[in-house]
């Protein structure tokens, strides 16, 4: 064991240790708050000066993270956000929490990880611990980060320490948060893993050590691929059940009464968020290096990716039965966040549904209590809409409403009473014997 480890562990124990967090979004900001609240000095790094300005003013731009938690930490003097990456040398540990999106060809886009690694290499000093939390393919930590850091002349496991510990954030989840979700961690060496486990052990109840970063990287992919494949399965069964006149939601609920051997997954309008629509394709890309094709992942991706278009098709069918054309119809999409009760639009299927409806000539608006302004993000740059209030007058003015995200704040009775036609992708209106509710 390197002679640095006992000294660094002792400093962690007495909180004489500075944690740097790169990327102050849905993963980085919770980490900032958690480390700060258990007594560490924290430096937050982001390339967006507006984010830095808001955070240093004690404001939160993430709905489920209360501003008073940010403000309290700023007032304590233990936290500061900055755009100055030269200050990375001040941090004893550096957590990398940057996006890992896909290119248009569904290949890994590691530009943010690479840029961050280069910035860290420029200030790397002895004793620092670097933790990659961004989801990626197995091998990234050792193939992309380690060579850049060792090019400085410092040796991993002796002079600096490198681990992969995937984020497991679930925005809006009131039952599990950073402190209570076990933290999987793999170090490049035993010394790396030991120091990483010591640090994360101060903010989480359980640290799960695995052999190397590759096992930790694969663990995160398995978790999300498991969900993607099972969601694809029920989405495919939804289409079949629709043609057979079977209520798939009732079937799933009935199957879930079996006390063993079955876990319920529910269909929807498509996948959203920063993980499940993206992460599986990091492994499909890496698998090609080993001469393998990941058939399950590819098929699941095709099914899930087709869901927004299937929903639009159900809208067309529902309007046709009423003698109306999609072209020229007034439609209201209910919910543009990718899941209920949050404000996160990343990869939301609602964005594609809005786009497809507009491309076919519909007059489309949306309502979402958590998202006052809808921006299209990377793949839908032309979307720029303002939410309409959900009132009886708004609903009555539509030819149809499409429930995409079942926010708790939506008044289902109001919608049921005043919307002339409801296309329900979430089974929110189950048990309502109305011919104006169409399951999608």
8 A C-beta contact, residue 128 and residue 92: yes
Nearest residue to 275 via CA among 375, 195, 171, 354 = 171
Return the closest-CA partner of residue 210 out of 227, 229, 193: 193
- Three-class secondary structure of residue 82 per DSSP: strand
* Separation of alpha carbons 335 and 339, rounded Å: 9
DSSP 393-415: HHHHT-SEEEE-S--TTS-HHHH
Neighbour tally for 134: CB within 10 Å = 24
DSSP, res 160:
B
> Which residues are CB-contacts of 298 (< 8 A; sequence separation ≥ 6)?
284
Structure letter (DSSP) for residue 122: T
* Residue of 384, 418, 383 whose CA lies nearest to 401: 418
DSSP H helices in 201-343:
213-244, 248-255, 280-289, 295-305, 307-321
Query: Of the listed 97, 131, 192, 275, which one is catalytic?
Result: 275
* Structural element, H or E, at residue 351: helix 349-359
Query: Is 275 among the catalytic positions?
Result: yes
User: Which residues, other chains included, contact 100 with Cβ-Cβ below 8 Å and sequence gap of 6+?
Assistant: 108, 109, 110, 112, 113, 134, 135, 136, 278, 282
Q: Which residues contact 27 (CB under 8 A, 6 or more apart)?
A: 97, 133, 134, 167, 169
Instruction: List, by residue number, the catalytic residues.
Output: 275
């Amino acid at each position: 064991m390197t002679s640095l480890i006992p000294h660094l562990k002792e400093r962690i124990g007495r909180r004489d240790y500075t944690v740097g967090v790169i990327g102050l979004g849905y993963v980085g900001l919770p980490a900032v708050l958690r480390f700060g609240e258990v007594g560490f000095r924290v430096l937050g790094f982001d390339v967006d000066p507006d984010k830095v300005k808001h955070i240093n003013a004690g404001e939160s731009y993430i709905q489920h993270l209360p501003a008073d938690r940010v403000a309290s930490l700023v007032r304590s003097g233990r936290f500061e956000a900055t755009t100055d990456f030269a200050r990375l040398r001040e941090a004893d540990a550096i957590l990398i929490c940057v996006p890992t999106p896909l290119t248009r060809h569904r290949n890994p886009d590691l530009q943010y990880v690479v840029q961050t690694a280069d910035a860290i290499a420029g200030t790397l000093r002895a004793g620092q611990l670097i933790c990659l939390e961004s989801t990626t393919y197995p091998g990234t930590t050792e193939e992309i980060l380690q060579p850049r850091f060792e090019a400085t002349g410092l040796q991993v496991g002796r002079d600096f320490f490198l681990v992969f510990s995937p984020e497991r954030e679930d925005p809006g989840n009131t039952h599990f948060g950073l402190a209570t979700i076990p933290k999987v961690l793999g170090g490049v060496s035993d010394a790396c893993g030991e120091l990483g486990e010591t640090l994360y052990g101060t903010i989480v109840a359980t640290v799960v050590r695995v052999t190397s970063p590759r096992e930790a990287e694969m663990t995160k992919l398995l978790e999300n691929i498991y969900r993607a494949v099972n969601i694809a399965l029920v989405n495919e069964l939804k289409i079949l059940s629709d043609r057979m006149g079977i209520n798939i939601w009732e079937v799933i609920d009935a199957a879930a009464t079996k006390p063993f051997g079955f876990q319920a997954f529910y269909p929807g309008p498509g996948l959203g968020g920063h993980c499940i629509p993206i992460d599986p394709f990091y492994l499909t890309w890496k698998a090609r290096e080993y001469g393998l094709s990941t058939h399950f992942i590819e098929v699941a991706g095709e099914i899930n990716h087709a869901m927004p278009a299937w929903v639009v098709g159900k809208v067309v069918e529902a309007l046709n039965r009423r003698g109306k054309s999609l072209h020229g119809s007034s439609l209201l999409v209910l919910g543009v966040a990718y899941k209920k009760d949050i404000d996160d639009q990343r990869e939301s299927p609602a964005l594609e549904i809005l786009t497809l409806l507009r491309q076919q000539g519909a007059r489309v608006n949306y309502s979402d209590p958590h998202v006052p302004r809808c921006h299209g993000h990377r793949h839908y740059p032309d979307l720029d809409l303002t939410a309409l209030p959900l009132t009886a007058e708004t609903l009555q003015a539509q030819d149809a409403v499409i429930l995409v995200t079942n926010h708790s704040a939506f008044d289902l009775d109001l919608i049921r009473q005043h919307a002339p036609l409801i296309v329900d992708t979430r089974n929110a209106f189950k048990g309502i014997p109305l011919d104006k509710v169409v399951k999608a």
